[in-house]
């Protein structure tokens, strides 16, 4: 492709910066045509000092939202769900506003309040209070609807985990099939994503994986090992486990039309700017970022206790990158890690 060669030196510099900022380790995998770049730094386990390596699995957080969107859009293509119908037409218990459509949920324009704002207002106590809990979708939705909405349906973009918890409930209510089965049969098996799983509410990660470390709000205190958790607070909004190779294959397959028909893919990739300079946009369960070299990449980011993830691909799927740092509650590390996008797609060094 006409893209500049990825800069391994720059990826390494970004990962070293992330570690200087407090991440025990980081990994980046770039798949560019027939070339694969595997770059890892630091530790996957700070107790055993096991080295990070790009083959390790990790919790992907909100990258899960794109997987949930693929399931939903397949059901749209099958004529079972209408994007512009009220979500209440498909739910067991109505949302407070009949005007909220399925499309509003997928584009974070429903206005539904994000219950994690309250759940994690105090980072480690919040995490410790839910890490072994199992929630129903309805319990999470009820936490949201106890609060005022952020905006009228469709009136603004306001990112909310609630939207994708409602979508998980909606898909299960319409089909009578659990999300785990949809993910497995509609995505993981067809794409042969051998290292991707949805094991909610199991707390452990199987195979080779990186441990995750949550920074405390009092940053002078030691990191908290947050690896084992149910992620029941997120489920269809954030509970998938994967690795870099599988995420690269998922996003390149998505944009190459292997997961949803053209009409649905076009719907997903119809982007609305969500930041001041228009370099970041959101479509349906999908982010895009316009990079310094003029390339726009499509994918999603993830933040779950102990793990930051960037997973993006070019519009033609010919180059994909996944980058992960095994810490969270550390905004500067998250921002620094985003520099791998410029290194991978523009071949440039971090600013
Ligand atoms: C929009 C985001 C950033 S937040 C959303 C989702 N992750 C969460 O909602 C987790 C929030 C708490 C995580 C925790 N932080 C605190 O507890 C702070 N008090 C930490 O850093 O581990 C995800 O993933 N999305 C990211 C996304 O889409 O990129």
Q: Is ligand 1 within 6 A of the CB of residue 111?
A: no
- 10-residue averages of pLDDT along the chain (351 residues): 91 98 99 97 98 99 99 98 98 98 99 98 98 98 98 98 99 98 99 98 98 98 98 99 99 98 98 98 98 97 99 98 99 98 91 64
Q: Ligand 1: distance of its center to the CA of 5 in Å?
A: 32
Question: Does the interface predicted TM-score (ipTM) exceed 0.95?
Answer: yes
Residues known to be catalytic = 62
Confidence (pLDDT) at 350: 66
Which ligand 1 atom is the nearest neighbour of the CA of 238? 24
Which ligand 1 atom is the nearest neighbour of the CA of 126? 17
Question: CA-to-CA distance for 255 and 190, rounded, in angstroms?
Answer: 15
Q: Is ligand 1 within 6 A of the CB of residue 74?
A: no
Q: Ligand 1: distance of its center to the CA of 68 in Å?
A: 17
Which ligand 1 atom is the nearest neighbour of the CA of 61? 24
Confidence (pLDDT) at 1: 54
Q: What does the CA dihedral 3, 66, 108, 163 come to, rounded to 10 degrees?
A: -170
Closest-CA residue, ligand 1 atom 1, reads 159
The model's pTM: 0.99
Q: Is ligand 1 within 6 A of the CB of residue 162?
A: no
Q: Which residues of 78-99 are buried (b: 16+ CB within 10 A; e: fewer)?
A: eeebebeebbbebbeeebebee
Q: 35 Cβ partners below 8 Å, 6+ apart?
A: none
């Amino acid at each position: 492709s006409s893209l500049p060669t990825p800069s391994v030196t720059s990826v390494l510099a970004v990962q070293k910066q992330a570690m200087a900022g407090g991440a025990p380790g980081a990994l980046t995998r770039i798949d560019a045509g027939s070339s694969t770049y595997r770059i890892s730094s630091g530790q996957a386990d700070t107790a055993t000092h096991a080295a990070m390596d790009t083959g390790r699995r990790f919790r992907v957080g909100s990258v899960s939202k794109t997987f949930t969107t693929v399931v939903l859009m397949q059901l749209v293509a099958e004529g079972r769900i209408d994007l512009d119908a009220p979500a209440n037409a498909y739910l067991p218990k109505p949302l407070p506003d009949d005007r909220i459509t399925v499309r509003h949920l997928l584009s974070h324009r429903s206005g539904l309040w994000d219950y994690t704002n309250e759940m994690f207002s105090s980072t480690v106590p919040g995490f410790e209070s839910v890490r072994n809990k199992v929630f129903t979708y309805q319990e999470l939705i009820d936490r949201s609807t106890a609060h005022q909405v952020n905006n009228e349906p469709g009136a603004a973009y306001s990112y909310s985990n609630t939207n994708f918890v409602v979508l998980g409930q909606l898909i299960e209510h319409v089909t009578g099939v659990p999300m785990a089965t949809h993910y497995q049969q509609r995505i993981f098996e067809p794409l042969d994503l051998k290292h991707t799983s949805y094991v909610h509410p199991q707390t452990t990660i199987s195979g080779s994986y990186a441990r995750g470390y949550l920074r405390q709000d009092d940053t002078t205190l030691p990191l908290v090992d947050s690896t084992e958790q149910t992620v029941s607070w997120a489920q269809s909004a954030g509970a998938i486990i994967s690795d870099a190779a599988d995420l690269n294959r998922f996003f390149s397959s998505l944009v190459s039309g292997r997961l949803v028909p053209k009409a649905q893919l076009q719907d997903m990739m119809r982007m609305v700017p969500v930041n001041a300079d228009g370099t970041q946009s959101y479509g349906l369960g999908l982010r895009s970022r316009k990079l310094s070299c003029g390339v726009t990449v499509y994918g999603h980011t993830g933040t779950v206790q102990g793990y930051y993830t960037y997973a993006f691909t070019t519009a033609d799927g010919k180059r994909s990158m996944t980058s992960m740092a095994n810490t969270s509650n550390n905004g500067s590390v998250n921002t620094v890690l985003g520099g791998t996008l410029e290194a991978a797609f523009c071949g440039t060094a971090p600013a």
